[in-house]
Amino acid sequence: MVDSALIGWSRAQFALTAGYHWLFVPLTLGLAVIMATMESIYVYTKDEFWKRTAKFWMKIFAINFAVGIATGIILEFEFGTNWSNYSWFVGDIFGAPLAIEGILAFFMEATFFAVMFFGWDKVSKKFHLAATWMTGIGAAISAIWILIANSWMQHPVGMEFNPDTVRHEMVDFWALVLNPVAITKFFHSVFSGWMTGAIFVIGISCWYLLKKRETRFALASIKVAAIVGIIGTFAVMFSGDKSGVHAAEYQPMKLAAAEGLEVGGQRAPFSIVPGVEIPGMLSILATHDIDGYVPGINDLIGGYRDPDGARHPSAEEKMERGRYAIEAFREYRELKDVDPDSAAVARAELEENVEFFGYGYIDDPEELIPPVPIVYWAFRVMVGFGSFLLLLMIVVLWAQWKKRLEGMKWLQWVSLLSIPLVYMAGQAGWIVAEVGRQPWAIEGLLPVKAAVSSVSVQSVQTTFFLFVAIFTLFLAIEIRIMIKAIKEGPKTEI
């Protein structure tokens, strides 16, 4: 029996590291597009103002980029220290995209970053512009391989279980890469970075307007950022719609938890807040059909038949078949060298029930229900703040276009104070994605309690609080350096 405290602290440590890391990644993705767009305008117009503008935001990008690397490295190390059973069980699959990310994307980012940041006036304008764009593209490529690995945990494909090695092994690399969940998650995450970068640039630029400094720089930055942010937010909405369809198909419990839906059915309502519902809207979002069937939490636990007559087993049935799979696996391992015929029978039973293998570690059906209030409200924070920020960017762009923004101090203050909201929306999105799939480390295959390392609770607690101190220090240093750079403002040479 795995100590529940060990599971809790290991999850908390990973959540802490991932949460801090995601403070830096989206700003990197967003600023990369914004500063590259500004430099493109400079190369096209030959106006030194745009070079000065691009170089300022490039400096902010560099500060954020450096701190983000440190948290990302620690995050990957934790798979070996805190989740060694997971790493052993699926390391052949999970390790591949991470290795590609490190070898290809990270070195691509680092190489072009050096040219971008230190190559002004040392290489041609067009070559430098290409390096700037390639730095941003490298960041996006890095993100896609990380998200391919994460999406495989949400929807495992392209592998089969090998009872001789006690590992899941990759049999179809392209199934892993072209996993529909990965493609959707990539666009959703990257474009949410565009939104983050846009709100950040708009907010900081409005600070300059409030201080009556660098007015032309601020207004130009707002225009570029708002356009990038609006495009990114609409792309987030589109990919979010696809994510809802994928959740309904591959992770129905996550969808039910996000909606607080206990009893499902056709024309399932969408809950705006408890007690306020839009009839049929959840069916539309989940199936693109108002008559589409969406199972609720009770249906998924108790078993149900969909309108087409297909039977979906209960949690108890899945758990029983999972125990059959585990017992068949044990028998196969014991008999394969002494009684090949009996071993073959055991292996056949294992293969018949292997899709439920992870359920054999579940002790109570209630374990299969994620913490509904957390997932429910996180989803509404994500959607609510995202909708507000889209409206804000549209209003700011309109005000800038009408040349009224300079006189609208209330809008400048709202924009500045909205910077934390975009980070809260991003963190809430990851809470939905990760907390919503509990208790699974790999959906349907490996529960968290079977993935954790055999280490002492005290060691995990110690490193947890150590990481709290280190990451908070990193964040404080980054904020201090950024504030100093922002107060100095754009210069002719940076």
Between CA 293 and CA 304 the distance in angstroms is: 11
In a domain, 49, yes or no: yes
In a domain, 115, yes or no: yes
Identify the DSSP state of 101. Answer: I
CA atoms within 13 A on the CB side of 451: 25
In a domain, 54, yes or no: yes
Between CA 118 and CA 412 the distance in angstroms is: 33
Asked if residue 205 and residue 314 are part of one domain, the reply reads: no
Asked if residue 185 and residue 135 are part of one domain, the reply reads: yes
Asked if residue 138 and residue 96 are part of one domain, the reply reads: yes
Q: How high does pLDDT run on average in the chain?
A: 92
Q: Determine how β-strand 265-266 pairs with β-strand 293-294.
A: antiparallel
Cα four-point dihedral sign 207, 212, 217, 219 = positive
Could you tell me how far CA 9 lies from the centroid of its own chain? 21
Asked if residue 303 and residue 247 are part of one domain, the reply reads: no
In a domain, 397, yes or no: no
* pLDDT for the residue 494: 35
In a domain, 259, yes or no: no
pLDDT (tens digit per residue) in 137-168: 988 988 899 899 999 999 999 999 999 888 88
User: Could you give the angle at the alpha carbon of 366 between the alpha carbons of 362 and 370, nearest 5°?
Assistant: 95
Count: domains in the chain: 2
* 9 bridge partner residues: none
Asked if residue 54 and residue 123 are part of one domain, the reply reads: yes
| Range with lowest mean pLDDT among 77-86, 175-184, 204-213, 325-334 | 77-86
Question: Is pLDDT at 47 greater than 90 in this prediction?
Answer: yes
Q: Identify the domain containing residue 31 by its residue range.
A: 4-251+409-488
In a domain, 93, yes or no: yes
Asked if residue 275 and residue 202 are part of one domain, the reply reads: no
Q: Which residue has the higher pLDDT, 21 or 302?
A: 302
- The pTM for the full model equals 0.93
pLDDT (tens digit per residue) in 348-384: 999 999 999 999 999 999 999 999 999 999 999 999 9
Question: Is pLDDT at 426 greater than 90 in this prediction?
Answer: yes
| Range with lowest mean pLDDT among 91-105, 216-230, 395-409 | 91-105
> Which of 359, 375, 395 is the C-terminal boundary of a domain?
359
Asked if residue 453 and residue 328 are part of one domain, the reply reads: no
In a domain, 389, yes or no: no
| H or E element, residue 441 | strand 440-442
Asked if residue 276 and residue 205 are part of one domain, the reply reads: no
In a domain, 56, yes or no: yes
| H or E element, residue 409 | helix 409-417
Asked if residue 281 and residue 140 are part of one domain, the reply reads: no
The answer for residues whose C-beta is within 8 angstroms of residue 211's C-beta and 6 or more apart is none
Between CA 63 and CA 40 the distance in angstroms is: 22
pLDDT (tens digit per residue) in 177-230: 999 999 999 999 999 999 999 999 999 999 999 999 999 999 999 999 999 999
Local confidence band at 493 (pLDDT 50, 70, 90 cut-offs): very low
Asked if residue 302 and residue 246 are part of one domain, the reply reads: no
Q: Are 353 and 328 in contact (CB under 8 A)?
A: yes
Q: Residue-wise over 229-241: b if at least 16 C-beta within 10 A, else e?
A: bbbbbebbeebbb
Asked if residue 74 and residue 134 are part of one domain, the reply reads: yes
Asked if residue 123 and residue 10 are part of one domain, the reply reads: yes
